[in-house]
Amino acid sequence: MKNIGLINKETTALVVIDIQDKLMPVMQQAELIFANANRLLKGASILQIPSYITEQYPAGLGNTCTAIEMPSDITLVEKIAFSCMQSQQLLESWKKNNINTLILCGVESHICVLKTALDALAAGFDVHVVADAVSSRTAENKNLALERMRQSGAFIVSTEMLLFQLIQEAGTPAFKAISKLIK
């Protein structure tokens, strides 16, 4: 059966990649990235999806921006490899929680997000990249990265598309809470 990107919240994790102090001032549409990453984090919390925030070499690039509203139960992971798939801490947590689907957002689209997506796909994960929650220093690099990930089998989605895909029906408390996030 062909994989069409159906997503099961029970086996999914959100990974917010490297939204850090020294990176974000040079990213395209930084305010949009902050807003949508926060929507994704809040949505993941509502839907009880585990979330992870990574920081690439924080000694040099700073910590996660204060514009990101980190939940109290967030798993914060420092890394030096571009790909999150090289983090034993993440891999062990995903294995323990039976995670086989990753939702990716963050920066830079053509470096850490791309490397993570490609490595995750190669390892057998389903990957959903949130196009309106990733960025690069140039729009061209972002667009090329999204196309490269699509060519390799990642599903390119929007914040709203993804959040509603995780809900099965209208009228539920989760639907109402997610709807408020989108408005």
Q: Give per-residue pLDDT as tens, 145-176.
A: 999 999 999 999 999 999 999 998 888 899 99
Tell me whether residue 18 is one of the annotated catalytic residues: yes
Contact 40, 162 (CB under 8 A): yes
Query: 58-87 burial by CB neighbour count: b if 16+ within 10 A, else e?
Result: beeeebbbeebeeeeebeebebeebbbbeb
Give the bridge partners for 14, in sequence order.
51, 103
Active-site residue, selected from the candidate residues 84, 105, 112, 142: 112
pLDDT at 92: 97
pTM: 0.96
Under CATH, which architecture does the 10-182 domain have?
A: 3-Layer(aba) Sandwich (3.40)
E strands, the chain, are 12-17, 51-56, 75-79, 101-107, 126-135, 155-157
Tell me whether residue 73 is one of the annotated catalytic residues: no
Active-site residue, selected from the candidate residues 42, 79, 115, 142: 79
Spatial distance between the Cα atoms of 117 and 123, rounded to a whole number of angstroms: 10
